Structure 1
Amino acid sequence: MLLTLIPCLFAGVLAASACTPSSLPSAGNRLPAKFQPAGGCCGITLVVPPAQNLIPHLAIAPKLGDFLLLPNHSAVAAQMLRVPHFIERYPDDGGRPDDATTAYLGYTHNAFYAAFVCKDPDPKDVRAHMVARDSLGNDDKVTLFLDTFGDHRRAFVFQSNADGIQADALYSEQNGYDYSFDTVWDTWGRRTPYGFVVLMRIPFVSLYFSKARPDQLRRWGIILERDVASNGESDFWPRSRHDVAGRLTQERIVEGFQDIGHGQNVQLEPYALARNLRQLNSVNPVNPYFEDKHLQGYAGLDAKFILHNSLVLDTTLNPDFSQVGVDNPAAPNQRFPAYFPEVRPFFIENSSYFQTPINLYYTDNIVRPQFGARLTGKAGPWALGLLGVDDRGPGEAVPPGNPQANTRALDYLARVDRDLGKLSDVGVIYADREYLGSFNRDGGVDYRARFRNRWTVTGQAMTSETSNLSNSTDGEQECESTSLDCSGQAYMQGISYSALHNSWWINYDDTAAGFVTDTGFFRRPDVRQAKGSYNYTFRPASGPVLSDDIDFYTERIWDHHGTPLDFYFNPSYNINFKRQTYFGLWANFGQDRLRPIDYSQLTGDVEYHSHVAGASFSTSPVPYLGFSASYSGGTVINYSPPSNDAPAPVDESQPSISVEIKALRAIDLQNSYSFTRFSTLNSGQTVYDNHQIVSRWNYQMTKAASLNLIGQYISTLPNEQYTDASNSQSLFADALFTYMPHPGTAFYFGYIGNFDNYDRSLCTRLPDGLCNSSDPILPTNSPTLMNDGKTIYVKMTYLLRF
């Protein structure tokens, strides 16, 4: 047998060597796997492995002008690693890009440089606007991924459009992009007669990476990407395949970065804020009052300590979140708690270190922290995440004089994860929320394993213990809140498959009646749940259609007594065209079983059926216009019936529309309107109407200076005969001028106003408890909307590095 294999191996080596270029002056001469011939016989196929790429050290830092003239660039550009052959990922996986891109890579002692020379057959098609940082939207852009630990799990992401407007993020295989990350780096961009050129300069002091000897080469993972807005094309180097699970799993490992400057060990970002404030304090509903504060000032500090250049200790004291933007409250008629994405930077940055399949990291539960600390990073194959933060929210939610006034909760989270090979890992997590002698503690193990590039298996086992000492009972009981002593377990097991045309996943979850998490996102205990999704994508080789796909999602839920509770089936069809045009059709079919323990008005189990169908459309045919619209209608369940009634089916109608206008390169106008109406099945009478209008205007005067205006109006107008939803109207206005020469150093001047239709019975109280008619808190002749919150503020931050 061995003698039979020898000639086969010899022939394979000859075939491989014959197909390998004799000289490799640039990374682009290495053909992607799709085009590499392989030699083989006797059932054996030999594949030529890609060679490592060396990033050269530069004596002189490159400038944008070094790359503007074609075909000959400067002597500095000639010294850099040239990457001429990007490979298309979308729409034609593995195809040759319509728009050629060449990248140049190199580094000096202080910084890494990446230049992108981007050609376009019609340069007028290049989309680039003077927009806010991290808001590149539908512009043409180039992207650099830097996996400085080479572990295929996390990476720094640096993006730029043709005008040099920046966006930066942290990317993880588990969570995707996190744009709350901001660091100091430089970009230069310019349109050219053949397209555009972008140069990035990324100081090593803005990165984290392992230490090495001065003469030792480091091995980092790199991905380069170009996105072409006009034809929906995405091109990569190295090739990024749809039939391989993950993005960083396909990165190219490069060598270099020898004797480079390490990041500074301490970064301080102090801020000072002065404001005039007027707001309604209704913590005590029987004695509300307006608070007026004139020229109130306070300060805070965010600090970052780099330990061994790979672990990051972030601390915050009196954090301010005045720039987080407009709130988006949940729509009415929610059976379970709604999920709100976190918008506060301290909690978002490096959040991937705490994420597990069963969510124990939902920081929206932390209302108003005063101090916090977070340690995250890598130490060899170990990933570490530690978090400790207080929450003044519970103590501020009760009136003064209440025994719980001015108290605070404490939240702790710890996670350790161990890499297993290139694509797998196993971890442990512990979470704890403590408040006035009560606690909720959760802990468990989780794992992820990837096989043959397409199969991924994930699992987690958790246990929780909850005690409220002031309301404890004898013995363990099934519980759904922290008002009882209880404990329980939760399990999750999932498997997924990814290929060029089809992908699918299946999950099974089991949550005991006593499982509770106060630090994570949690909807319901005592359920067993099986769910899955299947998607098939068609990828035409030519024509106006870039791709279309059909998707099926289904879910079945039981309780632990075996009673079937809910069932859902959701098919959809989506089609993508050029010019960023999309059209989709979808339907949702559901069956919900509600029990007396869910709604006390029910005398027995009742099964409800729902069916909704809808369509959505979006397009951006020209750079200065974007439009989207959707409509859905059908029968759903009214989960907010009058207090003495049980839930009932209602008809739903929900249109929405959104328009974005960029008539000038520096002005971005986004406006949207959505409407929801519930009506009775038989008579057609309105149950409630919900309106939401949002308008965002941004004027980007320079890269550093901008003026942002936000207006939002939300109203719910109920018919009390059919729902207990409250009549609410609110108007929010935000005006903000920002000057930010670089992240961490900024000047803000802003106004925040909030108007609500509060109950006119609110009043100040006399000692006998009656309303003080001479000092009503809300005069009956006041306008419909009262200004219950007004803030004018000035804020300054300054980044210090040591």
Structure 2
Amino acid sequence: MKRLISILVLLLAFQNTSAQEQPIIEEFILEAQKSPITIRIDGNLDEEAWNNAVITSDFLNKWPKDEGYAIGQTKAWILYDNEYLYIGAINYQKKEDLVIKSLKRDNSSYHWESDAFTVVLDPYNQKTTGFIFGVNAAGAEVDGIVSIQNSRTQPDFNWNNTWTSSVKVHDDYWVAELAIPFKSINFDPESDEWGINFVRNDMLRNEYSTWTHVPQGFPGIDLGYLGTLKLQQPLEKRRQRIAVQPYMLSSVNRDFEESSSYNGDADLGLDAKIPLGSSLKMDLTVNPDFSTVDVDQQVTNLSRFSIFFPERRVFFLENSDLFSSFGTWGVRPFFSRQIGISDGNLVPILFGTRVTGNVTDDLRVGALNVQTKGIDDISANNYTVGAFQQNVFGRSSIKGLFTNRSGFDGTNSFNEDFNRTMGLEFHYASESGRLSGNARYHWSQTEDRLNDASFVGATLMYNDGDKYFGITADRVGDNYINDLGFSMRSFQYDAERDSLIRVGFNYLNPWAGFVIRPESDFVNSHEFSTWTVMSWETNGELIDRVITLNYELSTFNHGFVRISARNNRVRLLFPTDLIGGDDFLPAETYIYNTISLNYLTDSRGVLSAGVNSSYGGFYNGTRLQFGGELNYRTQPWGNFGVRYVGNRVELPDNYGEATLHLIGPQSEISFSNNLNWTTFLQYNTQAENFNINSRLQWRYAPMSDIFLVFNDNYGTENFGIKNRGVVFKMNYWFN
């Protein structure tokens, strides 16, 4: 504890003595006038109200330099009436120089790699949560929420709501016009000041600019560097409307290994958004269907741990930061994929409810309840999650989490089948955002009421854009059992017993790095960093220690080269089988080294590529990993690519050898902003599976879609078909 306090004092002192980057303009205030007429969203900005609106000051450089004014300038205006917030922007760039990755909406990576305009709104002006809306120069929209997670601003583009935009491209500039309904966002009707910023992507120069000054090391959407939007007068309280989205689904599928015929099915369900006052909303889902979500990108797993796959189901994604931002990257007290998924297979969800919102300006709360259906040998369960976030000391907060899983089939409760956890965390962030940290304590309980059932830890971080360092320390008790969480180190595989063994551990993760930005027309930065991971059993015996040294060169065209060297010291707690050898690797200590190289070309080009490779020891043998990706873009309607990962593992004696291949071609064709066709092929020799997933999506009305999905699975030895299915789904948004 004394060491931790000493580190904190040192970081505070360092922050106070380090040079502070001063913004070019001290205050960023934009006045929004009330429009006497309804603005027509057509990309023309020809209403008289736009001529009287207050214009922003010149945009400032954000990346790759955070000094001076942007060369490719942007002008933005704000208007509003009783129904909408209107945003107009002129983005100066020649028509022939525009880079447009895709017409597809809701794709954040394509958005940031295209010429685009984005607005960040903080209606409560608390610098803790907000909304993001953006369009690229071809009209492809993205929207989402931004929040503070682990003391850093993070976007979540899975939030969706109704709003309108239009884009017009001229010879020397392009215009973006947005209309955001006040019914789509939460706000304080008594306040006339919101937080706001704008981000402009200039792909010709590969530069990003913002209206306010945002230093290096922070994203352009950072909530701590927003300006102020002053409304001419506060907004009137609005009666929120109920939104209902029913769906109908029809499917045909066949399991070729179990059945000789195709089976048809039809289903109905609905989602609803129900306002509870002006600041709380209830989301309801009945008989939800997730057959049309994006498939997981497969990986080759040669580690001792389970792979973390991100959540993709919309019901669990919206406002997920309130529930999922606890713990650390290695220990997550709540992970929503533990609900309705068992060993990779979907478990039917009968219904789910979620209530989220602000009770006060500083107190945000959330509650989630989901009931699953029992199938085969999986029993029915009820899941309850509660969370709160109380803002204190500016951008800091106190957060609490409660989770409960109990056996319940809708009628009978299984009193001796439950798991619950409770946790409390304090998250600190300085006003500048450079110094941050958190402390956490979580506790679990099962019907056995075991001791040593806690998860406790702390993190300290500093980042000023040129240098960064931090440390995470955790202790996970031997009996910290969390059925709704994810902790990859809590389970070690025992090959002899063919079972996972729960293990408590102590964990330490220090890191540090610095960036050199030379005066160069080609090289943007040189970055040197180190990353160390160490863990011990709770009795003090070392489990593993991994030390990594990295060098990365990035260029102004978004290309980069990374070289890494890693030293591994791993003690296997149990005999282990990683590649299917005749004998198991003995439970002993292994020391080995690896070196890796990664290279990516300019992603703005019609053709872009990347290669990666690593070689070195692998326990008592060797491992060669090699791969790459190749992408071809036909602006603005098509993206075609293929990725490959190969592994050659050789272990001595009878411990085995293996050559593994993972090949993933994919194509994305956008016929318009609202109609796209995506196809993924994944050939995985480790999983012995070849998958084809093809999805056609048509957004025929606001928040309303038609999906047609084809899914096929084959074996990799003789390409014998395993299963095949086709799904047609249609939903409609009533508001």
The TM-score, its normalising length taken from structure 2, stands at 0.86
On the 8 A contact 1:651/1:681 being kept in 2, the answer is no
SS of residue in 2 equivalent to 1:124: helix
Q: How does 1:465-614 map to 2 (within 5 A)?
A: 465-467=445-447, 487-523=452-488, 524=490, 525-596=503-574, 606-614=588-596
1:249 maps to 224
1:336 maps to 305
Q: How does 1:288-437 map to 2 (within 5 A)?
A: 289-290=258-259, 292=261, 294-354=263-323, 355-357=325-327, 358-366=331-339, 367=341, 368=347, 369-380=349-360, 381-392=362-373, 395-398=374-377, 407-435=379-407, 436=414, 437=416
On the 8 A contact 1:66/1:76 being kept in 2, the answer is no
* Cα distance in structure 2, aligned partners of 1:325 and 1:151: 34
* Deviation string, structure 1 residues 718-751 (Cα, Å, up to 9, x no partner): xxxxxxxxxx421211222221034531112232
Q: Aligned-pair distance for 1:514?
A: 1.3
Q: Aligned-pair distance for 1:787?
A: 2.5
On the 8 A contact 1:182/1:743 being kept in 2, the answer is no
* Cα distance in structure 1, aligned partners of 2:68 and 2:519: 9
* Cα distance in structure 2, aligned partners of 1:630 and 1:604: 31
2:169 maps to 191
Amino acid at match of 1:545: V
* Deviation string, structure 1 residues 243-269 (Cα, Å, up to 9, x no partner): 679910111122216335736331101
Amino acid at match of 2:116: K
2:694 maps to 735
* Cα distance in structure 2, aligned partners of 1:561 and 1:130: 54
Give the 3 Å change call, closer, same or farther, for CA 460–278 of structure 1 in structure 2: same
* Structure of larger gyration radius: 1
Amino acid at match of 1:101: T
Q: Aligned-pair distance for 1:146?
A: 1.0
* Cα distance in structure 1, aligned partners of 2:586 and 2:689: 39
Q: Aligned-pair distance for 1:598?
A: 8.0
Q: Mean alpha-carbon deviation: is it higher for 250-259 or for 412-421? A: 250-259
Amino acid at match of 1:264: Q
Does 1:160 pair with 2:157?
A: no
Amino acid at match of 2:82: H
Does 1:792 pair with 2:726?
A: yes
**Which of 752, 757, 760 matches 2:711?**
752
Give the 3 Å change call, closer, same or farther, for CA 631–61 of structure 1 in structure 2: farther
SS of residue in 2 equivalent to 1:82: coil
* Cα distance in structure 1, aligned partners of 2:145 and 2:567: 37
1:200 maps to 178
Amino acid at match of 1:182: N
Q: Aligned-pair distance for 1:347?
A: 0.9
On the 8 A contact 1:361/1:519 being kept in 2, the answer is yes
Does 1:59 pair with 2:36?
A: yes
Q: Aligned-pair distance for 1:335?
A: 0.7
2:209 maps to 235
Q: How does 1:441-456 map to 2 (within 5 A)?
A: 441-451=420-430, 453=432, 454-456=434-436
SS of residue in 2 equivalent to 1:442: strand
Q: How does 1:623-702 map to 2 (within 5 A)?
A: 623-637=605-619, 649-680=620-651, 687-702=657-672
Q: Mean alpha-carbon deviation: is it higher for 738-747 or for 159-168? A: 738-747
Q: Mean alpha-carbon deviation: is it higher for 411-420 or for 257-266? A: 257-266
Amino acid at match of 1:490: F
Amino acid at match of 2:436: T
* Deviation string, structure 1 residues 147-193 (Cα, Å, up to 9, x no partner): 12211111111111111110111111217121211111122123222
Amino acid at match of 1:150: N
On the 8 A contact 1:430/1:444 being kept in 2, the answer is yes
Give the 3 Å change call, closer, same or farther, for CA 540–391 of structure 1 in structure 2: farther
Does 1:276 pair with 2:252?
A: yes
Q: Aligned-pair distance for 1:542?
A: 4.3
Amino acid at match of 2:640: L
On the 8 A contact 1:231/1:580 being kept in 2, the answer is no
Q: Aligned-pair distance for 1:424?
A: 0.9
* Cα distance in structure 1, aligned partners of 2:86 and 2:688: 52
Give the 3 Å change call, closer, same or farther, for CA 452–130 of structure 1 in structure 2: closer
Q: Aligned-pair distance for 1:356?
A: 1.0
* Cα distance in structure 2, aligned partners of 1:635 and 1:320: 45
Q: Aligned-pair distance for 1:465?
A: 1.3
On the 8 A contact 1:210/1:308 being kept in 2, the answer is no
* Deviation string, structure 1 residues 214-247 (Cα, Å, up to 9, x no partner): xxx5321111101222333111121112367991
Q: Aligned-pair distance for 1:496?
A: 0.8
CA RMSD between the two structures: 2.7
Q: Aligned-pair distance for 1:756?
A: 2.9
SS of residue in 2 equivalent to 1:210: coil
Q: Aligned-pair distance for 1:680?
A: 2.8
**Which of 72, 91, 105 matches 2:64?**
91
* Cα distance in structure 2, aligned partners of 1:132 and 1:35: 36
Q: Aligned-pair distance for 1:411?
A: 1.5
Q: Aligned-pair distance for 1:51?
A: 6.5
Identity of aligned residues (%): 19
Structure 1 unaligned blocks of 5 or more:
1-31, 37-48, 281-287, 399-403, 477-484, 638-648, 717-727, 758-782
Q: Aligned-pair distance for 1:548?
A: 2.5
On the 8 A contact 2:335/2:486 being kept in 1, the answer is yes
* Cα distance in structure 2, aligned partners of 1:679 and 1:598: 15
Amino acid at match of 1:535: G
Does 1:715 pair with 2:685?
A: yes
* Cα distance in structure 2, aligned partners of 1:590 and 1:694: 30
Q: Aligned-pair distance for 1:602?
A: 9.3
Structure 2 unaligned blocks of 5 or more:
1-20, 342-346, 408-413, 491-502, 578-582
Amino acid at match of 1:143: T
Aligned length: 670
* Cα distance in structure 2, aligned partners of 1:756 and 1:576: 41
Amino acid at match of 2:290: F
Give the 3 Å change call, closer, same or farther, for CA 51–623 of structure 1 in structure 2: closer
Amino acid at match of 2:353: A
